[in-house]
Amino acid sequence: MAEPLLELDDVSAGYGEGIVLDHVSVFLPAGGSLALLGRNGVGKTTMILTIMGFLSLAGGAVRFRGQDVSRLAAHQRARRGIGWVPQERDIFPSLTVEENLTVAARAGRWDLASIYGLFPRLHERKGNMGNQLSGGEQQMLTIGRTLMTNPDVLLLDEPLEGLAPIIVEELTAAIRRMARDEGMALVLVEQHAEVALDLTEDAVVIERGVIAHRAKSHDLLADRETLDRFVGLNLAAE
Amino acid sequence: MTGNLLIVLFDGLAFGMLLFVLSVGLSVTLGLMNFVNLGHGAFGMLGGYVALVVTREAGLSFFLALPAAFVGAAVVGIACERTLFRRLYRSGELNQVLFTVGLVFVATAIATFLFGTGQQPIQIPDVLRGSVEIGGLRFGIYRIFLIVVALAVTAALIFGLEFTRFGASVRAAVDNQRVAQGLGIDVDTIFAITFALGCGLAGLGGALAIEIVGLDPTFAFHYLIYVLIVVAVGGLGSIGGSFLAAALLGIADVGGKYFVPELGSFLIYLLMVGVLFWRPLGLFGKR
Ligand SMILES: Nc1ncnc2c1ncn2[C@@H]1O[C@H](COP(=O)(O)OP(=O)(O)OP(=O)(O)O)[C@@H](O)[C@H]1O
Ligand SMILES: [Mg+2]
């Protein structure tokens, strides 16, 4: 078994008294990629927020690069290399596109030039305010903003949600480049199971806060029956 | 008559600039952090007494007393923020109001205990005394100095907030605290620094104010009214708005007392009510 980069060890967590994640264990090797699948409201975002440290643990531990980070604040986890791309995009509206990219930047492989190379549209709009962008541009900015922090793992929470097919294609290509060419580790939450499975090596399916199924992404993609049972066929809509 | 008018405008503007330095910190912390700090005037008063101690007890120059007042108020501000105020960020405006007003009572009592209830004069350097004559009118040098300091503060604030990475992270933290944290921005520290700067500016204002309005333990309450008018009329979080509101308020206050003494200091309240009827969020308010 490869050295784990990110590990959830028997984690239970939720909001206040309510437990959403119930004894969840997940593990991601360096350079690995994991699809988190599941229907609406099963706890996918909760899992991402738990990794980031926004929710308090009711049990278990979150480990990153071999160290227990369960007690660290969110900004400390981010600085250690966990890169979060939030589901609601949440561009900073009172910052320009370029300020959105630079405000939390840390030195490393990704800088303004390489982000503009990945998303040329952002370069065209660099002087615009964050809230003057289309949905697709906002998603590119959200991903670019997190890449600028030069993380070791990228947690993408439904990055393709609600976007036009042509933008989905562009973003999928960008994510593929990051994962395959740059060796960026990924956790990808998606409703579009087909896209997510195509982009990742491993997959887990969550159902009401527990892990209901684990598989290689490649195998799960072929296993229509299991997919249909746990995720519902978003595939048909493709 | 035009001469009088010009002088009143000038004196009013200078008084307004003083109010600006006293209030802009509150506008920033209230607008950015949604923390209702009615103790802001107490930090102004603290700066005043620091300046007094530096010039009178330590015998140092007024030009040293100004930065000392800034630093003194900023340090006490950050200590209060770390130990007291941060517990109140999530606890609702009424709690914040009650607590910080309580703090003003404490500050007033401490000032009375240490310095007595009397008005305290301050020694200002000779270069700031007297006046210059321009076109037959005499302009007080100290008031010119006030205007210059206020312009410098405005420029520094706008530059710091709009054109530096620190300013961008303050705006990001205000836009979305959680996402800012999730990207590695230390929001707590940023708010603490911002708060300290706001208190420091109040302290600077308090030190500058002594020569114009004097200093006694009622300062914290008396100037809280002016500070709140500036913030309300200017619009929360708007530096430009505070600047304009402070200038208007200063001119209305001085002009009112000079031209319509029957109304006395009441004119400024009329002005505030008028502006807020016209623009309930203040001149530049966004929310
Ligand atoms: N802030 C909150 N407070 C309390 N409960 C919450 C909160 N956010 C989510 N939940 C609950 O936690 C459960 C899991 O929600 P979560 O957002 O993790 O789902 P999800 O899998 O990300 O769904 P989606 O695909 O719709 O984004 C849901 O039952 C939801 O009602
Ligand atoms: Mg979600």
pLDDT at A80: 96
Q: The complex's ipTM?
A: 0.92
Q: List, in order, residues 6 or more apart from B155 with CB less than 8 Å away.
A: none
- The helix (run of H) or strand (run of E) holding residue B93 is helix B93-115
How far from each other are the two terminal CA atoms of chain A, in whole angstroms?
Answer: 35
- Widest CA span in chain B: 62
pLDDT at A231: 75
Q: Please report, rounded to a whole number, the percentage of residues in chain A having pLDDT higher than 90.
A: 76
pLDDT in tens, A157-199: 999 988 999 999 999 999 999 888 888 999 999 888 889 999 9
* Separation between Cα atoms, residue B147 and residue B267, nearest integer Å: 23
pLDDT in tens, B185-226: 999 999 899 999 999 999 999 999 999 999 999 999 989 988
CB-defined contacts A:B, below 8 A: 61
Return the CA Rg of chain B.
Answer: 19
Q: Best substitution site from A11, A15, A234 to test ligand 1's pocket, by max atoms within 8 Å of Cβ?
A: A15
pLDDT at B287: 57
User: How many angstroms separate the alpha carbon of residue A63 from the centre of ligand 2?
Assistant: 22
pLDDT in tens, A118-172: 999 999 999 999 888 999 999 999 999 999 999 999 999 999 988 999 999 999 9
8 Å CB contact between A130 and A141: yes
- Strands A67-68 and A153-157 come out as unpaired
| 3-state class (DSSP) for residue A200 | coil
Confidence of residue A237 (pLDDT cuts 50, 70, 90): very low
Q: Which amino acid is at B281?
A: L
* Separation between Cα atoms, residue A50 and residue A32, nearest integer Å: 20
* Separation between Cα atoms, residue B180 and residue B100, nearest integer Å: 28
**φ, ψ of residue B129 in degrees (nearest 5):** -85, 165
* Separation between Cα atoms, residue A205 and residue A214, nearest integer Å: 6
Closest chain A residue by Cα to residue B176: A92
- In order of A120, A162, A229, B40, B111, the CA distances from B115 in angstroms are 64, 66, 78, 20, 6
The pTM (predicted TM-score) of the whole model is 0.87
pLDDT at A234: 52
- Residue B286: Cβ within 10 Å count: 12
pLDDT at A236: 43
**The dihedral of CA B84, B86, B89, B91: what is its sign?**
negative
pLDDT in tens, B78-134: 999 999 998 888 888 899 999 999 999 999 999 999 999 999 888 889 999 988 988
* Separation between Cα atoms, residue B15 and residue B246, nearest integer Å: 8
* Mean pLDDT calculated for residue range B34-39: 88
Confidence of residue A227 (pLDDT cuts 50, 70, 90): confident
* Mean pLDDT calculated for residue range B164-192: 93
Residue B185 to residue A90, Cβ atoms within 8 A: no
Which one of A75, A148, A157 would you mutate to disrupt binding with B, by most B Cβ within 10 Å of its Cβ? A75
pLDDT of A34 strictly over 80: yes
Q: List, in order, residues 6 or more apart from A203 with CB less than 8 Å away.
A: A34, A35, A36, A37, A196, A197, A214, A215, A216, A217, A220
- What is the CB < 6 Å shell around ligand 1? A 15, 18, 20, 38, 40-46, 87
pLDDT of B4 strictly over 90: no
* Separation between Cα atoms, residue A86 and residue A169, nearest integer Å: 20
Give the CA dihedral B53, B58, B59, B60, nearest 10 degrees.
-90
**φ, ψ of residue A23 in degrees (nearest 5):** 50, 65
pLDDT at A29: 93
Q: Please report, rounded to a whole number, the percentage of residues in chain B having pLDDT higher than 70.
A: 99
* Separation between Cα atoms, residue B209 and residue A4, nearest integer Å: 62
- Strands A33-37 and A202-207 come out as parallel
- The third-level CATH classification (topology) of the domain covering B2-278 is ABC transporter involved in vitamin B12 uptake, BtuC (1.10.3470)
DSSP single-letter state for residue B59: -
DSSP state letters, A120-188: HHHHHTTTSBGGGS-HHHHHHHHHHHHHTT--SEEEEESTTTT--HHHHHHHHHHHHIIIIIH--EEEE
* Separation between Cα atoms, residue A152 and residue B260, nearest integer Å: 69
Q: Average pLDDT of chain B? A: 90
Q: List, in order, residues 6 or more apart from B201 with CB less than 8 Å away.
A: B21, B22, B24, B25, B70, B153
Minimum CA distance residue for ligand 1 atom 19: A41
Residue closest to B175 by CA, chosen among B28, B33, B24, B29: B33
Burial (CB count <10 Å: 0-12, 13-18, 19+), residue A123 = middle
**Helices B141-163 and B2-33, packing angle to 10 deg:** 30
pLDDT of A13 strictly over 70: yes
* Separation between Cα atoms, residue A213 and residue A202, nearest integer Å: 11
Half-sphere exposure of B226 (CA within 13 A, CB side): 31
Residue B182 to residue A79, Cβ atoms within 8 A: no
Half-sphere exposure of B139 (CA within 13 A, CB side): 17
Residue A86 to residue B182, Cβ atoms within 8 A: yes
Closest chain A residue by Cα to residue B177: A92
Q: Which residues surround ligand 2, an ion (CB under 5 A)?
A: A 44-45, 87
**φ, ψ of residue A149 in degrees (nearest 5):** -85, 0
Which one of B183, B187, B189 would you mutate to disrupt binding with A, by most A Cβ within 10 Å of its Cβ? B183
Residue A92 to residue B182, Cβ atoms within 8 A: no
User: How many angstroms separate the alpha carbon of residue A43 from the centre of ligand 2?
Assistant: 7
Joined together, the tokens standing for residue A77 give 């986890």
Confidence of residue A2 (pLDDT cuts 50, 70, 90): low
Residue B182 to residue A73, Cβ atoms within 8 A: no
Minimum CA distance residue for ligand 1 atom 10: A15
